[in-house]
Amino acid sequence: MAEKSRAKPRPRVAVRLGLSWSISLTARILAVNVIALALLAGSLFYIDSYRNELLAERYRLAKSEAEITADALADEDAAGRLSLIARIGPTQDLRLRLFDPAGNLSGDSFVLAPPAYRLIDPASEPWFQDAARMLDRGMDFVLGAPPIPDYRDPAHAGASAWPEIAAALAGRETRINHKAAPDRTPVIIAATPVGQDGSALLVTRNARDITENVRMARQTLAIIVGGALGVSILLSLFLARTIVEPLRKLVRAAVRVRLGRDRSVVVPRLPDRRDEIGLLARAISDMSGALRQRIDEVESFAADVAHELKNPLTSLRSALESLERVEAPDLRHQLLGIAQDDVRRIDFLVTEIADASRIDAQISRTTFEPFDMGTLVRGLVAERGQRGVNGGCPVSILREDGGDGIASSTDLTVAGDAPRLERVLQNLLDNAVSFSPPGSPIEISLSRVGSRVKIAVADHGPGIPAAARERIFERFHSLRPSREEFGKHSGLGLAIARTIVEAHFGKLIATDRTDGAPGARLVFSLPAWQSEG
């Protein structure tokens, strides 16, 4: 029970894996390109670190400005201090506030001189600035940035309204802070003691340029990412179209071929495509063509089998039906002989048909081994002579190319299935015996031509007309000698022989005799075996 329970989750895993590939190829191409750009868009978040660096730099600048100004004020009397902050504030875009030891405001550069800056009211700005501020808040929320307090001028002007002044006086050091103006731009605040009398200086600056620089950098990057995204989407759609559309055409054609509803289905070959898609299209087209050809051959073979079996079956049925009505012993004996011949004919046909139908599958599972064709030919001729199946026709063997002879013909070695190739020679010799006049010779010649071994079987029969030299290799070819006993041959011998030869990467053809004499010559060639040494 434990093993069964552990095995249960496996189908669910397979289902999940199957669903993960259910997304279309177009969507996957888009996703891959968009994800890469999304990672690039993530660099928008790093602009926050750029802003922090700008703020840190402004902190250092504000501290330096405040301390330098405080040192200058320490050497002045009360009137000189007021005159100095009135000059420094407008020139440095600062607001300087001077507090006396009691914490009262003793001088303000915005009062003593024209204001160096003005805080902008957001209501007076165009709509796109509101959108920019909303984007700023959104980025701060996504990044988890701490909230920035709003900057407001206090209702009373005393030092108690400024925590930075109290901290600076308590620690006798410069304190820096920043707040957000109404338009969400930073206001840098620096407080530092002035001299040793307990006075303090408060310096403020509206650093609008920080926000502008950050927004400009973010806008530039957003434009780049947006443009790249648009180009990537267009290129992805173009890539998907060049890949997906041809594949869809191939799929539709393959489905129609599979359903078999339209024999005229043309699988697109995409001749203009020189890439892998084109190679796939042409391979599928060739495959479907070969499949149709094989189906047509099977259908034709089935029709031929039915036709060939019908004749002896009809004769057999007629003989058996007549046998019941015939009383004469001689006639009954004749009908029994006809029935026996028909049974032998059917048995022979069934054996040949079975062999022809499974020969391809059998050879595809066979391991080819090297062997000498000269030895095979000699052994076959001797065996046929002992059985006396050559019809009184002497069979001779010779080397057509003037080689070293047949006895030690190492150059006639081929790789293949020796019993199958022996079957080829048997069929060729049977064909030669059938068409040869009694006692006429049959010649078997062997030769080595380049990298191929050639074997030819020639007879002195009527020969084969040029127009019929291909038809004789068709299954159930019916052109037989007039003297041949009915039912002795199946019409499959030469077809089987060509199938075996082609399965060995060879070729079997019919030609005239080379000496000009009447007769036929059947020639097959095979690749010569090349030893690895």
Over residues 122-164, the pLDDT tens digits come to 888 888 888 888 888 877 777 777 888 999 888 787 888 898 8
Taking the C-alpha atoms of residue 94 and residue 87, their distance in angstroms, rounded to an integer, is 10
Over residues 181-231, the pLDDT tens digits come to 999 899 999 999 998 888 999 999 999 998 888 888 878 777 877 787 788
How much of the chain exceeds pLDDT 90, in percent?
Answer: 27
Over residues 296-319, the pLDDT tens digits come to 777 777 776 776 677 778 877 887
Greatest CA span in the chain, whole angstroms? 162
pLDDT the model gives residue 456: 94
The pLDDT-based confidence of 244 (bands split at 50, 70, 90) is confident
- Whether 43 has a pLDDT exceeding 70, the answer reads no
How much of the chain exceeds pLDDT 70, in percent?
Answer: 84
Residue 180's contacts (CB-CB under 8 Å, 6 or more residues apart) are: 148, 149, 150, 151, 186, 187
Which domains does the chain possess? 45-218 (3.30.450.20), 266-365 (1.10.287.130), 366-533 (3.30.565.10)
- The mean pLDDT of 245-255, rounded to a whole number, is 80
| 319 CB neighbour count, 10 Å cutoff | 19
Burial label for 533, CB within 10 Å (0-12, 13-18, 19+), is exposed
Please list, residue by residue across 141-154, b when 16 or more beta carbons sit within 10 angstroms of its beta carbon and e when fewer do.
Answer: eeeeeeeeeebeee
DSSP readout, 332-344?
A: HHHHHHHHHHHHH
- Whether 95 has a pLDDT exceeding 90, the answer reads yes
Low-confidence winner among 72-76, 274-278, 315-319, 466-470 (lowest mean pLDDT): 274-278
CA 155 to centroid of chain Cα atoms: 73
- Whether 320 has a pLDDT exceeding 70, the answer reads yes
pTM of the model: 0.49
Residue 312's contacts (CB-CB under 8 Å, 6 or more residues apart) are: 342, 343, 345, 346, 349, 487
